[in-house]
């Protein structure tokens, strides 16, 4: 039943009800007032409005063939004028409350554009061929734009929006919305709004190419062919691609992870899927598919067919279900050093990568292909029994085939049964045959490593065909009576329990010999080996070569370490009781440390007899109190009293035996050592030691503790190092030297006469050295701002003091600290010469000559304190940015300067007429007279500073320029005689 209502506020308001659905048609107003026409003549801009109620409404707007617009097929009457497609430009439908279905039906032809409003409730809105606007509004709505460039607004709730044909714009607004693109649709815009929104793209049954790329904060989805289209997606959290049939290519770019999550289903066909950098779900479907996971933690269900899954650096931890067919995982490493591990996880397979903490979960995958690329990589292939993996292919060469020069390691594990394993290798290829999964390695270099572990059982491992340039081999035969034949390269061999046969051959071998009396042999050309003798009495026979070698045997906890510098060999020994070292020819050095706590109790050293080369044997005792006896026995020499007895044979007089007594209050007695047998050096080490030298020229170091050294005959040297204490050194016969090494802290060191003996003190650690019959003192100050005072050594045996100011031992550069050296003269009239540069200076003229080497220019200072008497300091031959401070003391003193760039200072200069201190300027270049001097002098802070030219200066402390007179200087070739005391030096013509 229809009811017409007229009002003054609308033009021809027509209402009709069908249930609670009303339809209103409004035409254009006639000119001059309110029209009373039901239909506005020829007007074409009328609006048809259909309004439901709050119940579940079903509204279908259609037309008949003549163009009349119907609501619900005419069941809803529209009183008055009949709306047609000719007089209506807009259809509006309002669902209001309830779960409404509002549809434009164009079975009989096109309808005008429409605005459809679902209102509250779960509504279904379907547009027509025009540019419609669909508003889902509240609750969970379904919107289909169909033809035309439509606008779809989901509103509140979880809505489904399908644009249909035409370039549509869809706005999900709040809620978890779903946007659908179907074949035949055009380029759309999808704006998700609030909530977790999904864009679903459905492909056709032909071959298609899709791309998904970030577009700023948005995502662009394109079908490249056929019939290109795109979807501009914003605030969309998920994209689902159903490629369906055909050989499809779907490529997602990086940069999507922060924008969207992908689900890609290739469907039937041989598809190629390349995921982005998010955690994506990838489905291959039927066919031989190629899937690349991308950077996120992806899940791949590869479906039927012989499929391949590719993993690349930067990708995440993926789950791969191979499903039907023979499937392959291609895992590409990076140029970084990586550790890859393949292991069984029940019937599944786990692959892990330490870089980025990657864990791959595999099932129904038959082949694993690893390409490690660059870096020092580690690949572990564990026992894969029970899994589907039958082949593991490992490529160690980067793309392009260029060797990476890195040390890669491949580990292959066997079972606890009796394994028979053969390892083949040549060039860059290796094959491990006989286990559940065959392992093939390509691109191996000589430094790469292959490890075989057969676990328990009586195993046989044969690797004799593996060349040294292929890989370094490691073999763990496990328990049982095993036979191990190593490769031609570097091997690690575990014999295990039982009577094992081990042949390591060449390379850096590791041998765990197990129980039994075993013997390990090493010969030149082999590598750095680790030998575990384990139970039984075991021997290492170490053969040297004709080259000069440095071989060291030392304790490493309870283990022993043998090192050979030639080829950088390190032997790691444990429970090896005897070590035989045949040094043979060459200038060899053999070091035997304290073997306490190790299994080594005997060391035999053969120096090669008369090889004409200077060999050295260094022996170290323990930190306990010991009494070491060094003696010549027959044609050889023996050192007893330490943990391991050492015997030396084949020595010559040019060879050296060096002994370090270690800690404890030790006694080292070398009085029975032949002077012509070998050169002898003794270090007392920690403790209050007594050292008795031989009759030859020995080198003795006291070490920490208050030591007594009786150097005996010969030209001996006693060395003091930081940490040593107050030593007493009796040089006895020969010309003997004290060598004192300073530290890197600022030190004050003083040398002075103590009657006929010499006292040397050092403020750091309050050290006092008592010396007698010592002719020379050498001091290395090293780092720190050091102060060294060399007193008047008249009456002692010291004739030479050498100071080394470099920052390092053997260095030539200063330490960058301001060192000060003070040399004191006698109470008489001294004539002292200072010459050289900052790198090397000498002070002569006193009882002991002093040298200073490798000082810092203009930083290190030299003070000459000549003491009482009429002294002359000749510094004319000093140059090179040096500093010289002269303290003349009492008496008439003269400083002779030169033309070098020297900073002179005369701190107690007495100026004025009749005063007898003098500055001799005749060493300067050019014409120099008193007027010249005055023109180059200035008052500075209570002193006179004279510019001597060439970068040199002279400072006279406490003297003003006005107080100077010509009598204070010597300018010409002849100095007029003045009264001098008897015995004083006379400064006259040069």
Please state the φ and ψ torsions of residue 65, each to the nearest 5 degrees.
-65, -25
Length of the chain: 990
Prediction pTM value: 0.56
DSSP code of residue 355:
G
Q: Are strands 299-301 and 319-321 parallel, antiparallel or unpaired?
A: parallel
The residues pairing with 806 across neighbouring beta strands, listed in sequence order, are 814
Residue with tokens 């009002």: 7
Task: Provide CB contacts within 8 A for 812, sequence distance 6+.
Answer: 806, 839, 854
pLDDT at residue 598 tops 50: yes
The helix or strand, by DSSP H or E, that contains position 933, with its residue range, turns out to be: helix 930-935
* 819 lies in some domain: no
In the chain, the number of structural domains is 2
Q: How confident is the model at residue 400 (pLDDT cuts 50, 70, 90)?
A: low
Contact between residue 647 and residue 630 where contact means Cβ atoms under 8 Å apart: no
Extract the tokens encoding 692: 């008795």
DSSP code of residue 734:
S
Domain end marker among 303, 326, 344: 303
Q: How confident is the model at residue 217 (pLDDT cuts 50, 70, 90)?
A: very high
* 638 lies in some domain: yes
Domain end marker among 268, 303, 338: 303
Task: Collapse the DSSP code of 53 into the 3-class scheme (helix H, G, I; strand E, B; otherwise coil) and give the result.
Answer: coil
Contact between residue 328 and residue 335 where contact means Cβ atoms under 8 Å apart: no
* 909 lies in some domain: no
Q: Which of 132-136, 633-637, 918-922 has the lowest mean pLDDT?
A: 633-637
Q: Which of 174-183, 336-345, 481-490, 932-941 has the lowest mean pLDDT?
A: 481-490
Mean pLDDT of 412-416: 88
CA 449 to chain centroid: 22
Extract the tokens encoding 256: 């999507």
Contact between residue 341 and residue 333 where contact means Cβ atoms under 8 Å apart: no
Residue-wise pLDDT for 859-881, tens only, equals 999 999 999 999 999 999 999 88
Residue-wise pLDDT for 457-500, tens only, equals 888 889 989 888 888 888 888 888 888 788 888 888 887 788 88
Residue-wise pLDDT for 646-695, tens only, equals 999 999 999 999 999 999 999 999 889 888 789 999 999 999 999 998 98
Residue-wise pLDDT for 26-83, tens only, equals 443 222 221 212 222 223 578 999 999 999 999 999 999 999 999 999 999 886 688 9
Q: Which of 236-250, 385-399, 590-604, 769-783 has the lowest mean pLDDT?
A: 385-399
Contact between residue 371 and residue 418 where contact means Cβ atoms under 8 Å apart: no
* 918 lies in some domain: no
C-alpha span between 114 and 144 (Å, rounded): 12
Cα 211–Cα 213–Cα 215 angle in degrees, nearest 5: 140
pLDDT score recorded for residue 980? 31
* 711 lies in some domain: yes
- Closest alpha carbon to 712 in 726, 690, 697: 697
Burial call 951-963: b when 16+ CB within 10 Å, e when fewer: ebbbbbeebebee
C-alpha span between 117 and 152 (Å, rounded): 10
* E strand map for 805-963: 820-824, 831-837, 840-844, 849-853, 861-865, 872-878, 882-887, 894-898, 902-906, 918-923, 937-940, 943-949, 952-956
Contact between residue 273 and residue 284 where contact means Cβ atoms under 8 Å apart: yes
Please state the φ and ψ torsions of residue 559, each to the nearest 5 degrees.
-100, 170
Extract the tokens encoding 582: 């045949």
DSSP code of residue 74:
G
* 2 lies in some domain: no
C-alpha span between 449 and 451 (Å, rounded): 6
Burial call 85-123: b when 16+ CB within 10 Å, e when fewer: bebbbbbbbbbbbbbbbbbbebeeeebbbbbbbbbbbbb
Task: Provide CB contacts within 8 A for 474, sequence distance 6+.
Answer: 411, 449, 450, 451, 452, 491, 492, 493, 510
Domain end marker among 731, 765, 790: 731
C-alpha span between 871 and 859 (Å, rounded): 26
Domain span holding position 648:
614-731
* Mean pLDDT (the chain, rounded): 88
* 393 lies in some domain: no
Contact between residue 749 and residue 762 where contact means Cβ atoms under 8 Å apart: yes
pLDDT score recorded for residue 990? 24
Contact between residue 681 and residue 655 where contact means Cβ atoms under 8 Å apart: no
pLDDT score recorded for residue 5? 25
Contact between residue 54 and residue 12 where contact means Cβ atoms under 8 Å apart: no
Task: Collapse the DSSP code of 566 into the 3-class scheme (helix H, G, I; strand E, B; otherwise coil) and give the result.
Answer: helix
* 561 lies in some domain: no
């Amino acid at each position: 039943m229809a009811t017409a209502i007229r009002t003054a506020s609308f033009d021809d308001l027509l209402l009709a009800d069908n249930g609670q659905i009303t339809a209103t048609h409004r035409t254009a107003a006639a000119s001059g007032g309110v029209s009373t026409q039901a239909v506005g003549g020829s007007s074409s801009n009328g609006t048809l409005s259909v309004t439901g109620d709050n119940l579940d409404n079903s509204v279908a707007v259609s037309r008949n063939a003549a163009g009349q617009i119907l609501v619900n097929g005419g069941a809803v009457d529209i009183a008055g004028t009949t709306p047609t497609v000719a007089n209506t430009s807009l259809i509006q439908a309002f669902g209001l409350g309830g779960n409404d279905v509002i549809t434009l039906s164009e079975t009989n032809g096109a309808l005008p554009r429409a605005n459809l409003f679902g209102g509250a409730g779960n509504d279904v809105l379907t547009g027509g061929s025009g540019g419609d606007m669909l508003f889902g509004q509240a609750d969970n709505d379904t919107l289909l734009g169909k033809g035309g460039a439509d606008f779809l607004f989901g509103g509140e709730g979880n809505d489904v929006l399908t644009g249909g044909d035409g370039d549509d714009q869809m706005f999900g607004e709040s809620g978890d919305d779903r946007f659908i693109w179907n074949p035949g649709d055009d380029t759309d815009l999808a704006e998700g709004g609030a909530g977790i929104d999904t864009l679903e793209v459905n492909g056709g049954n032909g071959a298609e190419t899709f791309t998904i790329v970030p577009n700023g904060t948005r995502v662009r989805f394109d079908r490249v062919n056929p019939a290109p289209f795109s979807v501009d997606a914003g605030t969309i959290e998920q994209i689902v691609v159903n490629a369906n049939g055909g050989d499809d290519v779907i490529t997602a770019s990086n940069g999507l992870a922060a924008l969207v999550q992908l689900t890609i289903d290739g469907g039937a066909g041989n598809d190629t899927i390349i995921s982005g950098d998010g955690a994506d779900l990838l489905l291959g479907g039927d066919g031989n598919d190629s899937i690349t996971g991308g950077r996120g933690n992806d899940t791949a269900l590869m479906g039927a067919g012989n499929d391949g899954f590719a993993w690349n650096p930067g990708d995440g931890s993926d789950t791969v279900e191979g499903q039907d067919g023979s499937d392959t995982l291609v895992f590409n490493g990076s140029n970084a050093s990586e550790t890859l591990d393949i292991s069984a996880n029940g019937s599944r397979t786990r692959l892990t990568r330490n870089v980025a903490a990657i864990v791959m979960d595999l099932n129904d995958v038959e082949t694993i292909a690893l390409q490690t690329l660059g870096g020092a990589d580690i690949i572990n292939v564990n026992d894969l029994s029970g899994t589907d993996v039958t082949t593991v292919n490992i490529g160690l060469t980067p793309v392009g085939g260029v060797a990476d020069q890195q040390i890669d390691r491949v580990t292959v594990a066997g079972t606890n049964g009796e394994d028979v394993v053969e390892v083949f290798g040549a060039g860059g290829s290796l094959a491990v045959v006989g286990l559940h999964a065959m392992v093939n390695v390509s691109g191996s270099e000589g430094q790469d490593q292959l490890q075989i572990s057969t676990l328990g059982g009586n195993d046989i491992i044969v690797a004799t065909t593996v060349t040294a340039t292929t890989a370094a081999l490691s073999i763990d035969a496990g328990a049982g009576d095993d036979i191990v034949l190593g490769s031609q390269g570097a091997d690690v061999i575990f014999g295990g329990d039982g009577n094992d046969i081990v042949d390591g051959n060449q390379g850096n071998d590791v041998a765990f010999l197990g129980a039994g009396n075993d013997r390990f042999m090493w010969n030149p050309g082999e590598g750095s080996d680790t030998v575990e003798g384990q139970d039984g009495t075991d021997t290492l026979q170490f053969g040297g070569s004709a080259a000069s070698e440095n071989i060291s045997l030392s304790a490493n906890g309870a283990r022993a370490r043998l090192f050979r510098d030639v080829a950088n060999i390190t032997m790691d020994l444990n429970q090896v009781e005897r070590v035989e070292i045949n040094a043979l020819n060459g200038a060899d050095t053999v070091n035997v440390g304290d073997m306490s706590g190790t299994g080594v109790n005997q060391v035999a050293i053969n120096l090669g007899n008369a090889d004409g080369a200077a060999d050295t044997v260094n022996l170290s005792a323990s930190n306990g109190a010991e009494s070491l006896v060094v003696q010549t026995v027959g044609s050889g020499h023996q050192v007893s009293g330490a943990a391991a007895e050492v015997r030396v044979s084949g020595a010559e007089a040019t060879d050296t035996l060096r002994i370090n007594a270690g800690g404890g209050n030790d006694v080292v007695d070398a009085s029975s050592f032949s002077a012509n047998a070998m050169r002898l050096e003794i270090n007392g080490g920690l403790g209050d030691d007594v050292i008795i030298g031989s009759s030859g020229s020995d080198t003795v170091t006291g070490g920490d503790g208050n030591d007594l050294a009786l150097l005996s005959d010969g030209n001996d040297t006693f060395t003091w190092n930081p940490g040593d204490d107050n030593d007493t050194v009796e040089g006895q016969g020969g010309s003997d030297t004290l060598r004192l090494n300073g530290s890197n802290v600022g030190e004050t060191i003083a040398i002075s006469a103590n009657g006929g003996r010499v006292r040397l003190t050092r403020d750091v650690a309050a050290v006092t050295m008592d010396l007698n019959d010592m002719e020379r003192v050498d001091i290395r100050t090293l780092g720190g701002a050091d102060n060294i005072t060399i007193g008047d050594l008249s009456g002692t045996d010291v004739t030479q003091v050498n100071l080394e100011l470099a920052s390092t031992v053997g260095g030539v550069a200063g330490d960058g600290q301001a060192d000060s050296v003070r040399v004191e003269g006698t109470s008489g009239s001294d004539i002292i010469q200072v010459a050289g540069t900052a790198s090397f200076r000498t002070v002569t003229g006193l009882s002991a000559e002093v040298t200073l080497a490798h000082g810092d220019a203009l930083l290190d200072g030299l003070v000459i304190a000549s003491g009482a008497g009429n002294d002359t300091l000749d510094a004319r031959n000093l140059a090179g940015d040096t500093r010289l401070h002269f303290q003349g003391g009492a008496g008439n003193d003269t400083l002779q300067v030169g033309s070098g760039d020297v900073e002179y200072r005369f701190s107690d200069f007495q100026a004025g007429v009749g005063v007898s201190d003098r500055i001799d300027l005749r060493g300067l270049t050019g014409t120099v007279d008193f007027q010249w001097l005055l023109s180059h002098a200035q008052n500075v802070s209570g002193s006179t500073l004279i510019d001597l030219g060439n970068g040199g200066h002279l400072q006279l402390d406490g003297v003003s320029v006005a107080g100077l007179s010509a009598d204070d200087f010597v300018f010409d070739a002849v100095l007029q005689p003045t009264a001098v005391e008897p015995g004083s030096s006379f400064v006259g013509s040069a």
